[in-house]
Structure 1
Amino acid sequence: MALVRAVRREFEKFPDPRKGRPQISFADAAMSAFAMFSLKDPSLPAFEKRWSARDHNLHALYHIEKVSSESTMREILDEVSPYVFRPAFREIFSRLQRGKALAQMTVLDGRYILALDGTGCFSWEKVFSDGS
């Protein structure tokens, strides 16, 4: 729970790029996305379909005041650079390091095993080919 609260606090620090007083805060949209991934929903529509059944849990566990719909979450988060989320990642990573939660995941001279979520692209400067 402390890690989820820390993520929420980091998300609350982010400047909301929208003008006026939006109905759903940036932090709620980001926490809705965080909840979707941590609950392992296969897609935004699946998350939205099931969120009303677990609305109380989303409020209690993720501190989400108002859960955002698929379209609202996309509208808010699609325009935000992934680098905006780096401080939240660093905060959580450092807490996990300090708490020794990552110690059992070290290999090769103390480096960590890393699981990627598939949101990035692989690219190479050189094309490897046998010429055929």
Structure 2
Amino acid sequence: MDLEIIDLIRRTFEDLPDSRKPGNNRKYRIEDAVLSALSVFFTQSPSFLDYQRRMDKFHNRNNAQSIFGVHQIPSTSQIGNLLDPIAPGTLYPVLAEVGGRLYTQGCLKPFVSVGVTLLVALDGTDSFSSEKISCPCCTQQTLKNGQILYRHTRVTPVIVAPGQSQVVPLPPEFVRVQDGVDKQDCELAAAKRWLTKWGAHYAPRGITVLGDDLYCHHPFCEAVRAQHMDFLFVCKPDSHVLLFEWLDDFTRTGEIQTLEKSRWNGKQRMTERYRYFNQVPLRNSDDALMVNKRAKIFRES
């Protein structure tokens, strides 16, 4: 990684707010706690920190110190005590800045794909869920058995590309409880907030937003286009009845265009058949967005 980026990350960690009172024990620095937590993601071992502490005890040196610059490794509980009070949004600007520097330095050229754009995949993921433990920030979901599931969910945008095993994370957006709002927040609403916050920042780089059927929703598609981005969303027959009726009608008249490609997957030859049609309405209204429909079918040769 570029030394300037490393220095940016370290300076950001050093400037994170410290909620400890002046008289409290300050043996461990905030940046040591953050770097120790970050280091866990660079190993497959869940006991990484304990292993590093033992290395330090017997060899007076450890990887956390030599690679990440950690002065002293806090315990797992100490890391939680130091980092829990810090709002996640504190780190969003540096996350965006790191992605920006990767872009300007040409590191994202291998990710340029469909329509000479960067593909940003949106998806929701739970960071916590429980039927017994909750907090004021939890959203609630009623299960089929009548129990309430308490959740912390966030939309996690990442830059992806075909053939690339790595991804570039972008600032997330949490599904959250909102004061004064009767309707509970949801993944789609969080994704709209993300577009509002970050659309102008990322759109000039050329962005195509990816998502599942949840995102193929007319108002959300309009929100994407309002940010001067393209979209490539999954759509299902039961949620996009009109669109598939159009597809069926043009299939009967033979106006659907088809493209076939053959490839070897290492075990057998596969034929990929693409059916596509341009300018079909996303919904049944006069102001409907006109979109391009594509279907992909695999078969063994």
TM bucket, shorter chain:
0.7 to 0.9
Larger radius of gyration: 2
Equivalents in 2 of 1:9, 1:36: separation in Å? 20
What does residue 89 of structure 1 align with?
95
Contact between 1:16 and 1:26, CA under 8 Å: does it hold in 2?
yes
Greater RCO, CA 8 A, separation 6+: 1
Equivalents in 1 of 2:187, 2:102: separation in Å? 32
Give the drift of 1:113.
Answer: 4.4
Contact between 2:33 and 2:83, CA under 8 Å: does it hold in 1?
yes
Equivalents in 2 of 1:118, 1:40: separation in Å? 22
Give the drift of 1:72.
Answer: 0.6
Higher helix content, 1 or 2: 1
1:29 match: secondary structure: helix
Q: Where does the alignment leave 5 or more consecutive residues of structure 1 unmatched?
A: none
1:92 match: secondary structure: helix
Higher strand content, 1 or 2: 2
Q: Where does the alignment leave 5 or more consecutive residues of structure 2 unmatched?
A: 128-151, 155-185, 189-213, 215-237, 239-301
1:7 match: secondary structure: helix
Equivalents in 2 of 1:124, 1:85: separation in Å? 21
Letter in 2 for 1:31: L
Residues 1:48 and 2:54 aligned together = no
Contact between 1:35 and 1:58, CA under 8 Å: does it hold in 2?
yes
| Identity among equivalent pairs (%) | 22
Equivalents in 2 of 1:56, 1:124: separation in Å? 41
Contact between 1:12 and 1:26, CA under 8 Å: does it hold in 2?
yes
Count of residue pairs the alignment pairs up:
124
- 2:74 pairs, out of 46, 62, 68, with 68
TM-score, scaled relative to structure 2: 0.36
- 2:36 pairs, out of 27, 32, 45, with 32
What does residue 27 of structure 2 align with?
23
Letter in 2 for 1:61: I
- 1:5 pairs, out of 4, 7, 14, with 7
- 2:104 pairs, out of 95, 98, 102, with 98
Judged with a 3 Å threshold, the aligned counterparts in structure 2 of structure 1 residues 118 and 95 are, in CA distance, closer, same or farther, namely farther
Contact between 1:4 and 1:62, CA under 8 Å: does it hold in 2?
no
Judged with a 3 Å threshold, the aligned counterparts in structure 2 of structure 1 residues 104 and 121 are, in CA distance, closer, same or farther, namely same
Judged with a 3 Å threshold, the aligned counterparts in structure 2 of structure 1 residues 14 and 124 are, in CA distance, closer, same or farther, namely closer
CA RMSD of aligned residues (A): 3.0
Give the drift of 1:23.
Answer: 1.1
Judged with a 3 Å threshold, the aligned counterparts in structure 2 of structure 1 residues 86 and 25 are, in CA distance, closer, same or farther, namely same
Letter in 1 for 2:80: R
- Provide Cα deviations, 1:10-64, integer angstroms capped at 9, x if missing partner: 1112221222251111111111111112x13454xx1222223375322222111
2:107 match: secondary structure: coil
TM-score, scaled relative to structure 1: 0.73
